Amino acid sequence: MTSTDLRVLRPEEWDTWYRTFELAFGGVPESDEERALWRDVTDFGRTLAAWDGDQVAGTALSHPFRLSVPGGALVAAAGVSAVGVAPTHRRRGILTAMMRRQLDDVRAAGEPLAVLCASEPEIYGRFGYGPAAYALFGEADTARVSLAASPGTDNGPDGDTGGVRLRLADPEESLAECEALYARRLTARPGMIRRLPHWERLGVLDPAGERDGASPLRCVLAESGGELRGYARYAVKPDWDLSGPKGAVVVRDVEALDPAAYAALWRYLFGIDLTSAVRFGPRPVDDPLRHLVSNLRRCGLRVRDTLHLRPVDVGAALAARTYTTAVDVVLEVGDDFCPWNAGRWRLAGDTGGAVCERTGDPAELVLGVRELGEVYLGGTSLAALAGAGRVRELRPGALERADAAFSWPVAPWLPHGF
């Protein structure tokens, strides 16, 4: 693979490029709606094609995202996606060449972070990405699991839900007000991404051919005092056997601004007639839902990595978040793929902000850039990585102090893939 084979895509080449991308994922063509959405969100200046003659052999792009980080800043993050190599051209270094070019471009653009959702987690560690956010997926047996009544969220005698009124709405027609609510939630959790134009359509994308027997997407709004306090998007998948109905509710999104609206939405989803299961995920690993259900064991929970993160500029990345406790630590960072990050950095910060600069002082903790990516959003602890032998403490006490500072009270969460 020579660098001359790799270049930025021209808009008129998109169809050819996209065919290779689809082929890399098995060759099942996407619906017209989905294809149109991905084209609309493509930033051609950030889209790479690896050419073998007039054939596209490799695809990759990045979106100019802003990622919510601990402390509430929205930090420039390249959202890497659409990575694929034609089945005829694998294991000859095309992915490696694309990752090289892309990370150089991201650095030149001054974006401190790169993030992605990996098709397989083994692929990206070599390029410095580590799993920074995890999510819960589950299927609750709603014949056995009920939702606890918490004060202020209980069903009132007149059938209302703690002052919250539920109303079905057309997902498209309610999109703008749901997006406004999502935007208010953005900085409440690290790992969430500010939606760029067109991305809101991902939430209501509902190609008829991909429903797998489920209803069209529904949207239920939770309102209180005439104000939108939450929404859920879901579909119902009916099913029957000789003993009766056993349909499932397939939940796509639940967002709410307060516990009453949140509980009311889940209570509604758990109570839909003719269903006995609620499928959900990705949900935050510390989702309050865990504390509303009567029987967690019957929620079929599984945890999975979702957002993988790579610090592209270690100094800028570490200075962009805040820290739960005051920290002053010298980190020795290893980074073979982006050697500009390698070496010693002094991080000094607290709840108000941070500075991270090069230093000649002795290292206190030694870790790779991938480990830094894993702990960056507060979803994985330095101590856990040290327990796995992936972080080394050179000065006694440094690990415990840095661990407390990097931790974050709210688990990071990526609400949807990209």
Ligand X SMILES: CC(=O)SCCNC(=O)CCNC(=O)[C@H](O)C(C)(C)COP(=O)(O)OP(=O)(O)OC[C@H]1O[C@@H](n2cnc3c(N)ncnc32)[C@H](O)[C@@H]1OP(=O)(O)O
**Binding stretches for ligand X (CB under 6 A):** 24-25, 80-85, 90-96, 116-120, 122-123, 126
Distances (CA, A) of 267 to 53, 145, 163: 57, 11, 14
| Shorter beta-carbon distance to ligand X: residue 35 or 185 | 35
Minimum distance of ligand X from residue 123's CB (angstroms): 5
| Shorter beta-carbon distance to ligand X: residue 3 or 243 | 3
Q: Is 120 exposed, middle or buried (0-12, 13-18, 19+ CB in 10 A)?
A: exposed
Q: Does the annotation list 96 as a binding residue?
A: yes
Kindly state the tokens that stand for 54.
Answer: 């007039």
| DSSP H helical ranges for 195-336 | 259-270, 314-320
Q: Does the annotation list 94 as a binding residue?
A: yes
Question: Which among 18, 129, 231, 418 is annotated as catalytic?
Answer: 418
Q: Does the annotation list 92 as a binding residue?
A: yes
Is residue 124 part of the annotated active site? The answer reads: yes
Minimum distance of ligand X from residue 57's CB (angstroms): 8
> Number of C-alpha atoms within 13 angstroms, CB side, residue 98?
28
Contact call for residues 305 and 151 (beta carbons, < 8 A): no
Closest CA to 373 of 118, 113, 71: 113
| Shorter beta-carbon distance to ligand X: residue 8 or 118 | 118
C-alpha–C-alpha distance, residues 171 and 181, integer Å: 14
DSSP 274: T
Minimum distance of ligand X from residue 24's CB (angstroms): 4
Identify the H or E element spanning 370: helix 369-375
Q: Does the annotation list 272 as a binding residue?
A: no
DSSP 161: B
Question: Which among 18, 65, 124, 134 is annotated as catalytic?
Answer: 124
85-98 burial: b if 16+ Cβ within 10 Å, else e: bbeebeeeebbebb
Q: Does the annotation list 371 as a binding residue?
A: no
Is residue 418 part of the annotated active site? The answer reads: yes
Maximal CA-CA distance, the chain: 74
Minimum distance of ligand X from residue 113's CB (angstroms): 14
| Shorter beta-carbon distance to ligand X: residue 25 or 44 | 25
Minimum distance of ligand X from residue 6's CB (angstroms): 12
C-alpha–C-alpha distance, residues 159 and 165, integer Å: 10
| Shorter beta-carbon distance to ligand X: residue 101 or 246 | 101
Q: Does the annotation list 244 as a binding residue?
A: no
**Residue numbers annotated as active site:** 124, 418
* Binding site listing for acetyl-CoA: 83-85, 91-96, 119-120
* Binding site listing: 83-85, 91-96, 119-120
